[in-house]
């Protein structure tokens, strides 16, 4: 995996998404990820096949080989690139998880702004959430 960063595209205006990216960044194997806000012009330039509407619905993980994994489908790959969390990637092969994970992910993604506000009222700043350290963005 050395030198093979996956690009995690996320909603840069969502406090919950930015928090998840910060958590992933803290636990990631060095060089495992590049983080790219969906709203970035860099995302539009580098991944024109990934429309903004798609990356606002769910996190998108662009693998080094060009495959794109979305939402719950990206979670095992993300977990496999984290220190101390690789074991949890195997849980996605358990019976029922294949059905439940996408359903739960869609519900959380659909309600992420309300969840962010309920958990941390006032966390949504004017102009969106601050990008986590190391996130790429273009003006």
Residue 127 lies in a domain: no
The answer to whether position 10 is within a domain reads yes
* 84 in a structural domain: yes
Strands 6-10 and 33-37: parallel
| pLDDT score of 113 | 65
Q: What is the chain's pLDDT, residue by residue, as a tens digit (139 residues)? A: 445 899 999 999 988 888 889 999 999 999 999 999 999 999 999 999 999 999 988 999 999 999 999 988 999 999 999 998 888 888 877 787 777 777 666 766 776 666 665 665 554 443 444 444 444 433 3
Residue 20 forms part of a structural domain: yes
Q: SS3 of 3, please?
A: coil
Structural domain count of the chain: 1
pLDDT value of position 65: 96
pLDDT at position 136 is 43
Task: Report the DSSP beta bridge partners of residue 35.
Answer: 8
Q: Which domain holds residue 115?
A: 6-119
Predicted TM-score of the model (pTM): 0.73
């Amino acid at each position: 995996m050395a030198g093979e960063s996956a690009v995690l595209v996320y909603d840069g205006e969502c406090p919950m998404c930015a928090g998840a990216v910060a958590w992933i960044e803290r636990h990631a194997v060095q060089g495992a990820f590049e983080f790219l806000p969906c709203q970035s012009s860099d995302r539009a330039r580098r991944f024109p096949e990934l429309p903004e509407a798609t990356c606002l619905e769910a996190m998108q993980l662009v693998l080094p080989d060009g495959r794109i994994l979305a939402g719950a489908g990206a979670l095992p790959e993300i977990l496999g690139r984290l220190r101390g969390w690789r074991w949890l990637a195997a849980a996605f092969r358990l019976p029922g998880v294949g059905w439940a994970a996408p359903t739960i992910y869609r519900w959380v993604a659909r309600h992420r702004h309300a969840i962010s506000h309920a958990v941390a009222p006032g966390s949504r700043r004017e102009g969106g959430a601050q990008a986590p350290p190391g996130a790429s963005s273009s003006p």
